[in-house]
Amino acid sequence: MAAPTTGTPVTEFWADVDRHLVRYGGTFTPEIIASAEGSFLRTEDGRRILDFTSGQMSAILGHSHPAIVETVRRQIGTLDHLFSGMLSRPVVELARRLAGTLPAPLEKVQLLTTGAESNEAALRMAKLVTGKHEIVSFARSWHGMTQAAAGATYSAGRRGYGPAAPGNFAIPAPNTYRPDFLAADGSLDWRRQLDFGFDLIDAQSTGNLAACLVEPILSSGGVLEPPPGYFAALREKCRERGMLLILDEAQTGLCRTGTWYAFERDGIVPDILTLSKTLGAGLPLAAVITSAESEQEAHERGYLFFTTHVSDPLVAAVGNTVLDVLERDGLDQRAVRLGEVLRSGLHELAGRHEVVGDVRGRGLLVGLELVVDRETKQGSDALGAAVTQRCLELGLHMNIVQLPGMGGVFRIAPALTATEQELVLGLEILDQAIGEVTRDWP
């Protein structure tokens, strides 16, 4: 048996990283993380790092929340995993409770593990119910790296893998900071943009439009929030073509934006809703939620999405605890209050630093876009990378989105349990990092 690796010298640790780990996107953060609690990570050498991304935008209750820890300890000692056709009380309870947080007719729930998997299942269901196969998504979308989800993802990961599944189409993502269709006042003419997008879809479609899969706020796409009215108009486009509307609320669901679901702002109800990251608060739990009518239609046509960890009791119990804490602590309203603090602080930074081009977002999902010229909105990958690195050195973990045609956009998504003091600390570090990096910037 190989010797345990815990406690090996740091140089040996990184040598093992180079020797044995597959690199799966970007670069590894040059820190060895030993523990995490609340809003902070602790490195092996004792440094504390404020986590402004909630892990992978998932740990909405912070790290090692006492209620989650207690649930995992209790549940794993009684019932952890079952044959996929077996049911347990935590699974049925979570399905019932999720349905209770949603408007009619969303009431049928399937519990899975990841966002990609839930989107895969939703697309499979939509194709079966409609009898069609074509899928429309935003050109800046991220829905996952499995086959159908990756086919509907346009922000990254398309090159070098051969042809995607036929029938995947993109429409322009509404970017109010960088409008491509201009109204008379210079703002984004999103109605004209949407009409243009669907004119192109109609020209390419073979008459098999099944669904439109979109995020209410495009996170990996640069924290882009479509204007009020956009999703009602998009839903009408879908209705006109017999398409289902699927909303991917992996990062926006369960109170992060100040309401339980981001789509509530727009007064619409999707045909299928997918949840993931926030549902497990950092543990692998996802859900597909639809109407009884659609579920019945899919069932009659032989819907099959049988996975190893479908309806697992351990993570379902965690999901119930997540709902308990969200409800008990009123974290939807807390996200509103803290989001105002965060955006106010970022606007103050914009007043001090010319490189801050835009502040946007809702609740505790906020984007800050860096530019080297506010007039031209010219971005710089190097600037974003330098600020990210300096933040980490100063004790703040940030995530920068760098896409062609955009500046570097920080996705800021602290835990809903973060304190106002922690947000202020993060803003102070970011302020210092931007100031130091830009002081001698060419």
Choice among 277, 360, 362, 390 that is catalytic: 277
Which residue pairs from 147-151 have beta carbons closer than 8 angstroms and sit at least 24 positions apart in sequence? Answer: 147/120, 148/119, 148/120, 148/123, 148/124, 149/115, 149/116, 149/119, 149/120, 149/123, 150/116
Q: In angstroms, what CA-CA distances link 168 with 84, 132, 153, 156, 390? A: 31, 12, 9, 15, 39
Choice among 117, 120, 248, 271 that is catalytic: 248
| Active-site annotation holds for 240 | no
Choice among 140, 142, 241, 312 that is catalytic: 142
Choice among 51, 189, 411, 422 that is catalytic: 411
| Active-site annotation holds for 248 | yes
Q: In angstroms, what CA-CA distances link 173 with 81, 139, 252? A: 40, 6, 17
Q: In angstroms, what CA-CA distances link 357 with 115, 224, 377, 378? A: 31, 14, 7, 9
344: number of Cβ within 10 Å = 12
Q: What share of the chain is helix, strand, coil (3-state, %, to 5)?
A: 40, 20, 40
Coil, strand or helix: which one is 407? coil
CA–CA distance, 86 with 317 (Å, rounded to integer) = 15
| Active-site annotation holds for 251 | yes
Coil, strand or helix: which one is 356? strand
Residues 6+ apart with CB under 8 A from 71: 317, 318, 320, 321
**DSSP-derived secondary structure letter, 263:** G
| Active-site annotation holds for 142 | yes
Q: How many residues are recorded in the chain?
A: 442
Q: Which two structure tokens, joined as six digits, stand for 203?
A: 């020209």
97: number of Cβ within 10 Å = 15
Choice among 120, 215, 369, 422 that is catalytic: 215
Choice among 251, 260, 334, 402 that is catalytic: 251
| Active-site annotation holds for 215 | yes
Radius of gyration over every alpha carbon of the chain, rounded to an integer in angstroms? 22
Indicate which residues carry an active-site annotation: 142, 215, 248, 251, 277, 411
